[in-house]
Amino acid sequence: MILKADTSQSGIQDSSSESCELKQENKHLEGFYEELPIVKEIIIENTVSVSVRKCPETAKTLLNLETDLTGDVVVHWGVCRDDSKNWEIPAEPYPPETIVFKNKALRTLLQPKEGGKGCSRLFTVDEEFAGFLFVLKLNENTWLKCMENDFYIPLTSSSCLPAESVQEMLIPGKAEEATQEVSQTAYTAGIIKEIRNLVSDFSSDISRKTKSKEAQKSILLEIEKLAAEAYSIFRTTAPTFFEEAAVELEESKPPAKISPGTGTGFEILCQGFNWESHKSGRWYMELKEKATELSSLGFSVIWLPPPTESVSPEGYMPRDLYNLSSRYGNIDELKDVVNKFHDVGMKILGDVVLNHRCAHYQNQNGVWNIFGGRLNWDDRAVVADDPHFQGRGNKSSGDNFHAAPNIDHSQDFVRKDIKEWLCWLRNEIGYDGWRLDFVRGFWGGYVKDYLEATEPYFAVGEYWDSLSYTYGEMDHNQDAHRQRIIDWINAASGTAGAFDVTTKGILHSALDRCEYWRLSDEKGKPPGVVGWWPSRAVTFIENHDTGSTQGHWRFPGGREMQGYAYILTHPGTPSVFYDHIFSHYRQEIEALLSVRKRNKIHCRSRVEIVKAERDVYAAIIDEKVAMKLGPGHYEPPSGSQNWSFVTEGRDYKVWEAA
């Protein structure tokens, strides 16, 4: 069951959630949630009070925490230095019966009061800290928080701390008659109800047309925030404040910027280069000439190639990060092309390689792991578990890229230098956001740190690994694959999207083998990342690695336009490859871009899959656009809504609502 407080005091809002009695089933998690029946609700009330005073002998801050909860109540706690509320473990001494939990927090068992009415404990904190953070743990599945947030006790400076200050709060508690345990899925069911209420509110306000666009976007953000919280609960049994847990999205932004790193939701991305673009030596100037043309086609964001000096001419083996003379052009030409795209109203993504860096010098053993240039790092900047480069840093937080030294992002000096470099690129060059190369190589939490420092308009990571196959044939269920991408996005706290490699792979099999049933998952939703977290899915069918002259994973020949008919009519943020724009596909791509813009299809658009059979896939998007793929027959339903044909090609067709 979920326990909740019934009344409120000054400054404390009611906290409500549902009580559930659940059957325990060993079921594989699919998507973000499972629907669960609500069968019982218990209204109860408990309190926790914290008194704060300064010790005149030691100048330390003393906190006495008391609660009327009974039994084995554990305080899961830490401290913070400022309003950012980043958890830290203070120095010893600690109260008796305290253990360190995963080097992230402390856990202290409260002592029962005399008479058995509640429990308490005294905590001592150095005066350097600004706040005391905690949650209460009743058992492995029961965590009590303050209105879904960690309890936070501000510790004022010693000069203004009174002799004693007391904060008392209502908390979810344990009713005497309650014998059930709080389950993670039950709590998530409460979140789902909140989401449904928001959706109903959103839908009714749209129908009445009484709410502003800003308010509607705010509701969408809140829904997304709750969904992320529900997701994180399924992924961990620990409280949601840990680094690998819940996505924390910012509150609603002005219409031009829904959420940092994810743009407005209406972006259409153009990859502005291929694997051979460096060969002319003047790619920036060639691309500049196409800026007006690309803008007129409907593209709002262009992804430029890596700008730094590189051992490889394509730019993906960077060496001196501040040297922006590359095979694509020099720094002045780069600024020129950026300014030109800004002039035509487009945003620019810089392709940044943060996972690895090529060294300038060898160490005493002849290993290339000493760096030069402005960022003259030594081998402490290289991970310790790559035998090729003998780093003295910590072990890698991801997969190693064995062609160059893998950078240890756990080092403070490395993160500081990278943040300064990215900010310099933002300010000096004018980049609006980032395409992040090989993000499998390092923990997504570091990406969050970099993006929070640079505040990009849009950011997308390349998390590319193999899909699931059985005896050489692609599995229908690719949940494990898209889950890994979702996990990375979640580790970055939703500050960036990711390329939807899952959708690309499924399109390969569906189109090449005439198995269009693959385009619907077991719940009737799109089977890629776009089906689980569409606002963070950047869909594509080809890029410089998979296509071009590399051809590592080329899209089925002759079926490219079916792929574009899918990603340009569906939610997610679509990315179109440069080679396809300037080819015989140009006219068909332009028609699909027009459909998307004219009908205001966006990254969160709603998809209703109406057919997913052997030879045909059909869907209706936002009740405005109908489309079908495959040789099989489909016509949008006649009735209250009239449909008009707008464009078609080989094995695809698109209609608009009249």
Q: What is the CATH number of the domain that holds 448?
A: 3.20.20.80
Whole-angstrom CA distances from 606 to 264, 286, 314, 367, 600 are 16, 38, 38, 53, 12
Same domain, 142 and 279: no
Helix (H) or strand (E) holding 460: strand 458-461
Q: Is 16 among the domain residues? A: no
How far apart CA 26 and CA 277 sit, in angstroms, is: 51
Grade residue 162 by pLDDT with cuts at 50, 70 and 90: very low
pLDDT of residue 82: 86
pLDDT greater than 70 at residue 459: yes
What is the reported pLDDT for 658?
Answer: 86
Q: How confident is the model at residue 156 (pLDDT cuts 50, 70, 90)?
A: low
Least confident of 12-16, 329-333, 628-632: 12-16
Q: Which residues are catalytic?
A: 437, 462
Confidence label for 170 from pLDDT (cuts 50, 70 and 90) = low
Residue 329 reports pLDDT greater than 60? yes
CA angle (191 as vertex; 72, 27 as ends), nearest 5: 80
Axis-axis angle for helices 560-567, 501-512 (nearest 10): 130
pLDDT value for 117:
80
Percent of the chain with pLDDT over 70: 77
How far apart are alpha carbons 14 and 175 in whole angstroms?
Answer: 17
Percent of the chain with pLDDT over 90: 61
CB contact at 8 A, 605 and 621 = yes
d(CA 404, CA 516): 41
- The CA distances from residue 97 to 49, 79, 178, 208, 469, in Å, are 21, 18, 27, 58, 50
Q: Pairing relation of β-strands 473-474 and 142-144?
A: unpaired
Q: Say whether both 311 and 452 belong to one domain.
A: yes
The most confident of the ranges 99-103, 115-119, 214-218, 359-363 is 359-363
**pLDDT digit string, tens, across residues 245-264:** 333 333 333 444 445 678 99
Residue where a domain stops, chosen among 127, 154, 181: 154
Instruction: Tell me how many degrees the CA angle 257-262-265 measures, rounded to the nearest 5.
Output: 70
Indicate if the pLDDT at residue 78 is higher than 80. Answer: yes
* Helix or strand (DSSP H, E) at 202: helix 184-208
* Residues paired with residue 76 on neighbouring β-strands, in sequence order: 107, 135
Each residue of 175-234: pLDDT tens digit?
A: 333 333 334 454 455 555 556 555 555 544 444 444 455 556 556 665 665 555 555 444
Helices vs. strands in the chain: H and E counts, helices first:
13, 28
The residue count of the chain comes to 658
Reported confidence tier of residue 172, pLDDT bands at 50, 70, 90: very low
The structural domain count of the chain equals 2
Domain that holds residue 119: 48-154
Q: 428 in a domain, yes or no? A: yes
Q: What is the pTM of this model?
A: 0.66
Is 654 within the bounds of a domain? no
Q: Is the pLDDT of residue 345 over 70?
A: yes
Q: pLDDT for 23-39, tens place per residue? A: 333 334 334 433 344 33
CATH code (residue 78): 2.60.40
477 has pLDDT over 90:
yes
Give the residue-averaged pLDDT of 408-419.
97
| pLDDT tier for residue 55 given thresholds of 50, 70 and 90 | confident
Mean pLDDT for the chain overall: 83
Q: Which residue has the higher pLDDT, 1 or 351?
A: 351
For 296-325, what is the HEC assignment? HHCCCEEECCCCCCECCCCCCCECCCCCCC
- Is the same domain home to 274 and 147? no
Pairs from 366-371 (Cβ < 8 Å, separation ≥ 24): 368/405, 369/405, 371/319
Mean pLDDT of 163-168: 52
| pLDDT over 50 (residue 73) | yes
Count the Cβ atoms, other than its own, within 10 Å of residue 633.
Answer: 10
Residue at a domain's end among 114, 133, 154: 154
| Sequence-separated contacts (24+) of 579-587 with Cβ below 8 Å | 579/274, 579/542, 579/547, 579/548, 580/542, 581/270, 581/294, 581/297, 585/560, 585/561
15 pLDDT above the threshold of 60: no
Domain presence at residue 205: no
Cβ-contact 507, 13 below 8 angstroms: no
**Domain identity same for 275 and 129:** no
Structure tokens at 406: 């893998």
Here the tokens at position 556 are 């089925």
Q: Is residue 95 part of a domain?
A: yes
Domain identity same for 300 and 437? yes
More confident of the two residues 188 and 241: 188
Q: What is the reported pLDDT for 161?
A: 46
Q: How far is CA 348 from the centre of its chain?
A: 20
Asked, for residue 99, whether it belongs to a domain, the answer is yes
Radius of gyration of the chain (CA): 27
Burial of 282 (0-12, 13-18, 19+ CB in 10 A): middle
Average pLDDT over residues 356-372: 96
C-alpha to C-alpha distance for 501 and 265, rounded to whole angstroms: 19
CA distance 506 to 528: 8
Pick the last residue of a domain from 119, 154, 189. 154
Task: Identify whether 116 is part of a domain.
Answer: yes
